[in-house]
Structure 1
Amino acid sequence: MQKTLMLATSLALTTPSAAQVSPVPDPYAQGRAVVADINRIVTPNGVQETFEATLGGARQVVNVRGADRTNPILLFIHGGPAAVEMPIAWAFQRPWEDHFTVVQWDQRGAGRSFLLNDPAALASTLRPERYRDDAIELIELLQKRYGQRKVIVLGHSWGSIVGMMVAAKRPDLLHAYVGVGQVIDFRENEREGYAWTLARAQAAGNTEAVRELEALRPYPGPGAFDLQKLGTERKWNIRYGGLAAGRDNADFYFRAPRLSPEYTTADRQAWDDGSAFTMKTMFPQLADISFAKLDRIDTPVFMFLGRQDYTTPSPIAAGWLNRLRAPRKKVVWFEHSAHLPFIEEPGRMFEELLTQVRPLSQTKASVGRGH
């Protein structure tokens, strides 16, 4: 992909272009096979499957993994748009699968789902509300397929927009909502992230960064956002650790798909192509997304926030949660993380999901057994 939103923006720095994609055979095939074998679910009541679901008229790929299919379902809604998590999940998700049935979903126009639909026909459907309704359809499918009354939704970055919209519209479907890298007000996120990035560049005496960043002013500016400006801001934001704390790049994260059992070389290229397509179509719609006036959600709400996140600046989400009315709410701070706490502090993320969120679900909640 080229320049895209939040996590997807930085993918352009690490994903090969079509001309660079390695030919078959996949040079990472042996490593992928080792990871697949290590992560294979072998428990008698486990689930490990990938299937296609038609959501809102679009074919989409869903991956489900867990050691006990009666554990609570946790739906991970990935960022981007089109920055899929399925090919990265092997790096952090396996411990979750002992206590949750974890669902990774390549949204419309994203990753493996990009290959299943005609982009020309799909383009007009790429609206935030359509993604919300796709997620609701998927939740209802999962309820029936696995005999569950409710699910836990975890929304990351762009996925936190989709997840928040689901929580606001259909709280009855959820045990809880967990926002990671939560977007509250898109325009305010960009203003605050830009100010932080420029301040870091000035403090470091980086004249090249300061010159490029100051040339963006006013940023993000009125009206629709400019993708080229976004790409420049993200380049330097990543350099100063706004995406991954203590790192000047995100190679460790975006190279992980090379060893994913779920993704081939062609699938990785589809991720890239889907990101470029989706952002070109979606980006003008995102500038004025805001939950600032949303003051009530009728399900428990958690914010898992990286203290050093200036991709989607965490103080905005923390301040919003203070004003929210919900049956239960809590901010959990990840002191050594920026935008990727599930992979920057994976043990801590698992601990918080297990102790804070899982108790809100009914263990082994099965419709068939009357739970």
Structure 2
Amino acid sequence: MTTAAALVAAFCLPASAAEPPSDPYAPAREIVADMNRIVTPDGVQETFVATLGGAKQVVNVRGTDRDNPILVFVHGGPGAVEMPFAWTFQRPWEDFFTVVHYDQRGAGRSYPLNPPKALAPTMTLERYRDDAIELIELLQERYGKRKVVLMGHSWGSFVGLAVALERPDLLHAYVGVGQGIDFREGEKAGMAWTRAQALAAGNEEAVAAIDALAPYPMAGPFTIEQADGWRKYAMPYGSLLYNRPPGETLYFHQPRLSPLYTPADRKAWGEGSVFTVTTLWPRLADVSFADVDRVEVPLVFLLGRHDYTVPSPVAAEWFEEVEAPSKELIWFEHSAHMPMFEEPGLFLAALLREVVPLTGGGQASANVDQKGS
């Protein structure tokens, strides 16, 4: 839910006249690639294309030891791929997990691989859920694993929770980051928070613009233009990144240095993001897990205290009531929607403390013991 159409240019930073074909960032990407290269004998570092639900999707796998548990990251958006950002925070995870990213159908590097017109009718939560299930089954066979840890972020947290409900047998645990529960209620809470911030700041323009969106989100059309209509005011108040106003951060420039994304890939990402979020958003209006009272896998929620992109209080309220074999909610006090980037050390510590034990030990637990000794 972080790629409202008005933000696509900031996220994707496609090649343009200001960025010559020679790509001035290529030398920096080579440095990042070398720094993050997996060199251990039993490590894995590969990118491949998998066909999931009839759609070709790009998959990236990295880890220092194949015996470690697999962690599958389901990115947000719709269309907000995490692969080109992961180089900034993921490398320490790879000592304890084999980390898998995939660009979902219609997103990022996967966008050019499938005809958009053929893809559009398939774009539903259920199809994205089933894509994730097919990917997990592929990873089981490819790497000889019985179960994986599934981490869903933002829009991906709806996909991830749907997988946990449909196929708990595939998962050691489900980890929700920027967790969404109910699209309409999330939009309502985010708009109310943003309006309150604007009112306190004397921003009459923002208050009027948000009021003008009514009856959204509870009735009427449910479009990305309406979602953008309040998010553009929310971001300067820290709904996405805590204490990092959009005009004062280079966060969105990180993909320029990603070894996994060329200028052409970033351009495709921008085009795919607009296509995906415009097509999918109206179909999500009534998606809700509010009535779910039990999940059959351990739950770990990692929530930013200041997250009002996907308002964390909505997730926390649901988490309080839901039953699961075990559950743990961790608050990140200086984070909004991106705690893995905003508080990376505490985020890693939470994974080691709360998630690794749920995988049943193995090399990852040995690694934790070694790092702590």
TM range (shorter): over 0.9
Shift of 1:17: 6.0
1:98 matched to 2:83: no
Of 65, 80, 90, the residue aligned with 2:62 is 65
Shift of 1:16: 4.1
Task: Please tell me whether the aligned partners of residues 186 and 289 of structure 1 are also in contact (alpha carbons under 8 angstroms).
Answer: yes
Alignment of 1:1-371 (within 5 A): 5-9=1-5, 10-16=7-13, 20=17, 22-249=19-246, 251-364=249-362
**Runs of 5+ in structure 2 lacking a partner?**
365-373
Instruction: Give secondary structure in 1 for the equivalent of 2:146.
Output: coil
- The residue type equivalent to 1:331 in the other structure is L
Task: Please tell me whether the aligned partners of residues 213 and 233 of structure 1 are also in contact (alpha carbons under 8 angstroms).
Answer: yes
The sequence identity of aligned pairs, in percent, is 60
CA distance in 1, matches of 2:165, 2:17: 43
Instruction: Give secondary structure in 1 for the equivalent of 2:113.
Output: coil
| C-alpha distance 358-207 of structure 1, shift in aligned 2 (>3 A) | same
The Cα offsets for residues 26-47 of structure 1, whole Å up to 9 and x where unpaired, read as 1210110000000000000000
Instruction: Give secondary structure in 1 for the equivalent of 2:174.
Output: strand
- Point out the more displaced range, 182-191 or 209-218: 209-218
The Cα offsets for residues 211-237 of structure 1, whole Å up to 9 and x where unpaired, read as 322222333240431322211211111
Task: Please tell me whether the aligned partners of residues 112 and 267 of structure 1 are also in contact (alpha carbons under 8 angstroms).
Answer: yes
Shift of 1:18: 6.7
Task: Please tell me whether the aligned partners of residues 305 and 331 of structure 2 are also in contact (alpha carbons under 8 angstroms).
Answer: yes
Give the number of equivalent residue pairs: 362
- The residue type equivalent to 1:320 in the other structure is W
Shift of 1:348: 0.7
CA distance in 2, matches of 1:106, 1:89: 12
Instruction: Give secondary structure in 1 for the equivalent of 2:193.
Output: helix
CA distance in 2, matches of 1:344, 1:295: 31
- The residue type equivalent to 2:99 in the other structure is V
- Point out the more displaced range, 213-222 or 202-211: 213-222
Over the aligned positions, Cα root-mean-square deviation in angstroms equals 1.6
Could you tell me the TM-score, scaled by structure 2's length? Answer: 0.94
CA distance in 2, matches of 1:349, 1:316: 21
Task: Please tell me whether the aligned partners of residues 8 and 82 of structure 1 are also in contact (alpha carbons under 8 angstroms).
Answer: no
Could you tell me the TM-score, scaled by structure 1's length? Answer: 0.94
- The residue type equivalent to 1:242 in the other structure is S
Task: Please tell me whether the aligned partners of residues 149 and 365 of structure 1 are also in contact (alpha carbons under 8 angstroms).
Answer: no
CA distance in 2, matches of 1:361, 1:221: 40
Task: Please tell me whether the aligned partners of residues 77 and 155 of structure 2 are also in contact (alpha carbons under 8 angstroms).
Answer: yes
**In structure 2, what is the equivalent of residue 369 of structure 1?**
none
| C-alpha distance 94-267 of structure 1, shift in aligned 2 (>3 A) | same
| C-alpha distance 17-87 of structure 1, shift in aligned 2 (>3 A) | closer
Shift of 1:96: 0.1
Shift of 1:325: 1.1
